[in-house]
Structure 1
Amino acid sequence: MIKTIIFDFGNVFINLDIEGAKNYALEKFDVNALSDEMLAFNSFYEQGLISTDEFLEFYSENFPKLSKDELIDVWNYILKDFPKYRLEFLKELKASSKYKLILLSNTNELHINWIKQNILFYEEFKNCFDAFYLSHEINLVKPNTDIFEFVLDENDLKNNECFFIDDNQDNINTANKLKVKTWHINPATEDITNLFKTKDKLFA
């Protein structure tokens, strides 16, 4: 029996343009691919292991032609709209009191600052959750096993009573190994608001 639903944020609630953001970055940086060092710094930043100033300084040193505002624009390009009907779905789910609701997201400070400024109902959204975990605040990141174990332990959850929703296959694979039930949501064809239609047997 499912008692807890654990949600990803990007491409579950807020829409992302992952491919577009990558292409935009390559164009602005005038490179063919992101270097291993860039990917490492991105990961450090996502885990909160380096500050926003340190993150921007790294990119400023490597791409001095771009201002800090331009670098922030490149970094935030991935973030798109958050349809309000998804908030309404979440609010109804919260009001039902049937499940413990947890958010577990690989999110960094610049992204969450953009969201707070541009998604006017962010606080209302956040308040729907019983627990709200952003990778840069807990210094853990998906798809590593330790972030899932942290959430399970912190909330005294039983693996087989949890349902995890994410658009990233690697994250889903880790949850599956821990015997957590999952939905690998396809943002191109599926929507979180159809959760109980798509996975009705699990919630029966």
Structure 2
Amino acid sequence: MIKTLIFDFGDVFINLDKQGAMDNALKLFDMQVFDEDMLQTNIKYEIGAISTSDFLDFYKSKFPKLEKTQIIQAWNYIIKDFPTYRLKFAQELARENKYNLLLLSNTNDLHIDFIKQNVSFYEDFKKCFNQFYLSQEINLRKPNTDIFEFVLKENNLKANECLFIDDTKENIDAAEELGFRVWNIDETKEDVINLFNIKNQLF
């Protein structure tokens, strides 16, 4: 029996443009692929191992001709719109109070600050959840096993009583190995508001 719903944020509630952001960044940096030190720096930033200032200083030193504002714009390019009907879906779930609601997202201060500035109902959305876990704040990230173990321990949960919803198969596979029920949502043709229709057999 499902007692807890654990949602990803990007491409579940807020729309992302992952490919567009990658293409835009590669064009800005005049590169074909990202260097390994860039990938590692991004991960460090996502788990709070380095500050926003350190993150920007790294990119500024690597691409000295760029302004920090250009780097920030490229970093935030991935974030698109947040449909209000998905907010209403989360609010209705919270009102019904049938499930323990958690959010578990790989994200960072620059992205969250951008969302706060551009999504007027961000705080209302956040209030829908009993726990709102952001990777940079808890120093853990998906798909690493320890982030799922952290969530289970912190909330005294059983994995087989949790449904984890995420758009990234790697994250889904990691959770499923630990016994979570899962929905690998395809954001190109599925919508989280249809959860109880698509995954009706789980409830």
TM-score after normalising by structure 2: 1.00
Q: Deviations over 1:70-94 (max 9, x none)?
A: 1000000000000000000111111
The answer to whether 1:44 aligns with 2:44 is yes
Instruction: State the secondary structure of the residue aligned to 2:202.
Output: coil
**Match of 1:87?**
87
**Match of 1:117?**
117
Q: Deviations over 1:144-199 (max 9, x none)?
A: 00000000000000111000000000000010000100000000000000000000
Q: Deviations over 1:74-123 (max 9, x none)?
A: 00000000000000011111111100000000010100000000000000
Q: CA RMSD in A?
A: 0.4
TM alignment of 1:28-39, pairs within 5 A: 28-39=28-39
TM alignment of 1:128-143, pairs within 5 A: 128-143=128-143
Q: Deviations over 1:22-61 (max 9, x none)?
A: 0000000001110000000000000000000000000000
TM alignment of 1:47-86, pairs within 5 A: 47-86=47-86
Instruction: State the secondary structure of the residue aligned to 2:112.
Output: helix
What is the aligned length? Answer: 203
CA distance in 2, matches of 1:63, 1:77: 18
Instruction: State the secondary structure of the residue aligned to 1:201.
Output: helix
- Gaps of at least 5 residues in structure 2 are none
**Match of 1:180?**
180
Q: Which amino acid aligns with 1:115?
A: I
CA distance in 2, matches of 1:151, 1:120: 28
Q: Which amino acid aligns with 1:193?
A: I
CA distance in 1, matches of 2:21, 2:174: 26
Instruction: State the secondary structure of the residue aligned to 1:5.
Output: strand
CA distance in 2, matches of 1:162, 1:60: 42
